[in-house]
Amino acid sequence: MKKRSGDPWMPADEYGRSLNGLGINLLVTSVEAARQFHTKVLGAEEVYWDPDFAVYRGYGADWMLHADHTYQDHELHGSLCPEIARGIGVELRVHGRDPDDAEAIARKLDFHVLAGALDKPHGLREAHIVDQDGYVWVPDVPLDPDK
């Protein structure tokens, strides 16, 4: 059941045809509740949002959110359970987002920080932050190879 009133920023079929490469579509309990994480913690541009759907852009990538209620007639509907963390075993990496800044904002906004910003042997400084729906996001920046 859609909650949006009025027209979206572009027709769904037009948006669908515009997509290419690897796409990420996250199912969330509330698009409105997710906005703060995506815009403030991740520092992404909010291309569009309504109570059913949102598009974010940042760091050379676009991703979408769909509210659970929009999937009531979808094959995944039966697997949606608010008590279970989503995305177990998947890291959503945001290359180019300062992990120290993201961590500080996440802590201020009471998001769960699994691991604060650390320099890793694979050449990145990264933090692991859990969003309101249990997805693990990893903002990272490359380390200076001369240090």
Model pLDDT, residue 102: 98
| Nearest of 37, 31, 64 to residue 130 by alpha carbon | 37
| Nearest of 24, 93, 98 to residue 56 by alpha carbon | 24
| Other C-beta atoms lying within 10 Å of the C-beta of residue 138 | 19
Q: What is the pLDDT along the chain (147 residues), one digit of tens a residue?
A: 677 777 777 776 676 676 666 789 898 889 999 999 999 999 999 999 999 999 999 999 999 998 888 876 655 555 555 666 677 778 999 999 999 999 999 999 999 999 999 999 889 999 999 999 889 999 999 998 887
Of the chain, the end-to-end C-alpha distance in Å amounts to: 54
Please, are residues 43 and 131 in contact by the beta-carbon 8 Å criterion?
no
What is this structure's pTM? 0.82
Please, are residues 65 and 110 in contact by the beta-carbon 8 Å criterion?
no
Tokens of residue 25, six digits: 């579509």
Tokens of residue 14, six digits: 């037009």
Q: Kindly report the backbone phi and psi dihedral angles of residue 75, in degrees, each rounded to the nearest multiple of 5, phi listed first.
A: -60, -30
Model pLDDT, residue 80: 58
**Residue range 12-142, CATH number:** 3.10.180.10
